[in-house]
Structure 1
Amino acid sequence: MAPEIGLENKQGKLRLRLPRVIADGSLRYIYTGLPDTPENRKKAQVIAWQIEEDIRTGQLDPTLESYKQEFKPKTTVNKREPDLLELWVRFAEYKRPQLAVTTYEKDYIRKIPNHIKQLPAKKLTDAIAIRDYLLVNHSANTAKRVLIHLSACCKWAKDSGLIVHNPFTSMASTIRQPKTEVDIDPFTTAERDAILEAFRQHKPHYFPFVHFLFLTGCRTGEAIGLRWQHVNVDCSQITFCESFDSQLKIRKTTKTGTTRKFPCNQKLRELLLSVRPINSSPDSLVFYSPNGLPIDNGKFTNQVWRGCRSGQKVYKGLVTTLVDEGKVSRYRCPYNTSSPPRQFCWVKCLDINAAFFYVHPWF
């Protein structure tokens, strides 16, 4: 029969007493350091039974250290919780395969990280202060969008075991945005004609490009990225399936991710035929910049369309000049060549035999 381990009270603290066959003198005692309470007696008794079992099976730790360790205070290492920027970097990498390249580069690598870097605090415990800062320093729409992204990031981090709580849950839903009607502001027929005539006279290289925008209503990036492989042999149909991002210098799918078959009327066919090289390569662009490169949307808008100052050089924009001359009522960006909403096909129907879904009030 294995010797029993005694449980004693020594000056209000519990200690274990080992049999003399195991240890002698002061070595017989394991001081638990625990006050003599019913709960602590249960804990000490469990260790005493473990020692008795180890003696019986010949597995006793002769140093007794493993038993003494059971009574020492457990030291917990507080794991530092990652801050918002650290979480966002990992979240962005997780989302990367699921995103369009432009969305990843512009929103996940630039826009949202820049917002986070400007925050006065970046700890998750500062979520309320972060929300208030965004509302004070940005529009309700921007604050709401940033909070939606931060909540998605923290939800992923919680699901991944990186944090225990998502402090941004439902926070964006409490933000009310002012209701505004979409202001569709297309150019009038007279304004369109004035713009085309100005390009014909002063920037003839860009005239076909601008004319194409007005005739098709496509997005600027779709026109810039258009290649001859997207135009059929007789220029009677265009396939819009790609767009070119001038900022990132990359090709991508259209904004909606869909491919559109666009029938060409006679005026559009004549335009395409007039700019198509005799031996055009399918991969060649339909429209180029004056130096033979893809048109840079930013430079075209700033230097040709609107006008700007770059260092000592001043660029007089054609549309801004037309506004000054009273030929265009107010400045609108190139995007307005494609208003109103694109779910309608509203190219100018000069060819009465051409079938279209909708004709813009211009025509």
Structure 2
Amino acid sequence: MATKIQRDIDYGEFDASLVKYKPAASLSTVTPITPITPSRNPQPDLGELWEKYTEFKKPQVSPSTYAVDYRKYRNHIVKLPTKTLDDAIAIRDYLVAHLSANAAKRTLTNINACCDWALKSQLIESNPFPSMAKDIQIPKSELAEYEINPFTKEERDSIIQAFEESKLYSYYAPLVKLLFFTGCRPSEVIALQWKHISDKYITFDQAITISTKGLALKDGLKTQSQRRFPINHQQHEILESIKPENCNPDNFIFRSKKGGIVDFGDFLNHAWKGYKNHRGTHIDGIVTQLVKQGIVSEYRKPYQCRHTFITLCLEADIDAKDLGRWVGNSPEVIYKHYAGNKRNLQVPEL
């Protein structure tokens, strides 16, 4: 080091601060700073999105949609093995493997709607579920449940007679008759009060729905605010047979055995179809019994009462426009969904 200093003195390059002559170990070094990339905020998972989405939709949908349909999809989401949006393919495959094709398709349709909303609400960066539901094909066996498959007139009469003669369920007979002879929806018939009955008309203007608090009365109908159904002698007799003296106009026409609103799910799963008792024994309902006896060709749900009325009216040459007003459908719906089911349709001789 002394030699180096002497040399610099000789050549006029001496560093008076002596920094030049300090050992390298004593010099400070500067560590380069690596820029920090801000981390992405973690995306909410599907369960969290569904809760936020349904709260947003709650004021916009019917109480039954919120209480029944949304809860059903929530239960499917809860059971998913993963709820991360990055695992959308795995979510789809799980739903297809564990649900019917129709249920999986409906669930994915609603999940897609949820994620569309979340994307617009800037909760997520992209929706990984578009078009997934479209790829699911529903087999004909599942579609058949939703098809129009009316009872014949003879089957209808046998069902009514069986209810009238039943020791357990005869009190449901007038309800079944009015379903068959007005074509109204189940939710509409159980919402009828005596104030809705006049000498000429039945006025349908409300329905019973399922809410988070149980059965609830909702103003308005599925496709309209109200409609009037003209009473004939047949319906007049049904109603007069059960009308109490000095009845309160606000009383419901059809009541459960305990005096409350008829729970149509209970009617379906006990009186109509049947159920398993606490011992695991299946107790057949009225229609199931008739199917086993060969009197009714196949089991069908109570909504087919409506389809039966519409089909029989078409066979009696009731104009589709008039029929549509009676049952709350457009003529287009009548022609599209029911005209093809006319059993006595024949090609005319021209």
- What TM-score comes out, normalization by structure 2 length? 0.72
Alignment CA distance shift 1:307-1:159 (3 Å):
closer
1:80 matched to 2:42: yes
Q: Which sits farther off after the overlay, 90-99 or 261-270?
A: 261-270
Structure 1 stretches (4+) deviating beyond 4 angstroms? 31-34, 176-182, 312-316, 358-363
1:170 to 86, 110, 131: 131
8 A Cα contact 2:180 2:308, kept in partner? no
The correspondence of residues 147-296 of structure 1 with structure 2, limited to 5 A, is 147-178=108-139, 183-202=147-166, 203-232=169-198, 234=199, 236-245=200-209, 248-252=214-218, 253-296=220-263
Q: Which has the higher contact order (CA 8 A, sep 6+)?
A: 2
1:89 matched to 2:34: no
Q: CA deviation at 1:177?
A: 4.2
8 A Cα contact 1:186 1:340, kept in partner? yes
Q: Tell me, what secondary structure is at the counterpart of 1:328?
A: coil
Number of equivalent positions:
290
RMSD, matched Cα: 3.3
Q: Percent identity?
A: 42
Distance 2:261 2:240 in 1: 20
Alignment CA distance shift 1:309-1:137 (3 Å):
closer
Q: CA deviation at 1:102?
A: 0.6
Distance 1:177 1:145 in 2: 11
Q: Which has the larger radius of gyration?
A: 1
Distance 1:205 1:75 in 2: 73
The letter for the 2-side match of 1:122 is K
Distance 2:291 2:264 in 1: 21
Q: Deviations over 1:209-261 (max 9, x none)?
A: 111111111122211111122222x1x21122222136831123433354222
1:103 to 43, 60, 65: 65
Q: Tell me, what secondary structure is at the counterpart of 2:116?
A: helix
The letter for the 2-side match of 1:103 is T
Distance 1:196 1:268 in 2: 14
Q: Which sits farther off after the overlay, 311-320 or 118-127?
A: 311-320
Q: CA deviation at 1:278?
A: 2.8
Q: Tell me, what secondary structure is at the counterpart of 1:226?
A: coil
Distance 1:76 1:256 in 2: 52
The letter for the 2-side match of 1:188 is T
The letter for the 1-side match of 2:181 is L
Distance 2:289 2:205 in 1: 34
Q: Tell me, what secondary structure is at the counterpart of 1:334?
A: coil
2:91 equivalent in structure 1: 130
Alignment CA distance shift 1:162-1:32 (3 Å):
farther
2:302 to 328, 334, 349: 334
Alignment CA distance shift 1:262-1:362 (3 Å):
farther
Q: CA deviation at 1:72?
A: 7.5
Alignment CA distance shift 1:305-1:177 (3 Å):
closer
Distance 1:146 1:299 in 2: 25
Q: CA deviation at 1:121?
A: 1.1
Q: Which sits farther off after the overlay, 302-311 or 112-121?
A: 302-311
Alignment CA distance shift 1:152-1:356 (3 Å):
closer
2:278 equivalent in structure 1: 311
1:323 to 270, 291, 299: 291
Distance 1:323 1:216 in 2: 24
Distance 1:83 1:282 in 2: 51
8 A Cα contact 2:314 2:342, kept in partner? no
Q: Tell me, what secondary structure is at the counterpart of 2:42?
A: coil
Q: Tell me, what secondary structure is at the counterpart of 1:102?
A: helix
2:106 equivalent in structure 1: 145
Which runs of 5 or more residues in structure 1 are unaligned?
1-30, 35-70
The letter for the 1-side match of 2:72 is K
Distance 1:310 1:273 in 2: 36
Q: Tell me, what secondary structure is at the counterpart of 1:308?
A: strand
Q: Deviations over 1:294-340 (max 9, x none)?
A: 22212222222222232148644222232333332332222221115
Distance 2:113 2:131 in 1: 10
Distance 1:290 1:116 in 2: 37
8 A Cα contact 1:345 1:356, kept in partner? no
Distance 2:255 2:149 in 1: 28
1:357 matched to 2:319: no
Distance 1:345 1:87 in 2: 47
Q: Tell me, what secondary structure is at the counterpart of 1:250?
A: strand
8 A Cα contact 1:147 1:171, kept in partner? yes
- What TM-score comes out, normalization by structure 1 length? 0.69
Alignment CA distance shift 1:32-1:174 (3 Å):
farther
Q: Deviations over 1:125-157 (max 9, x none)?
A: 011221222233334333332222112211221
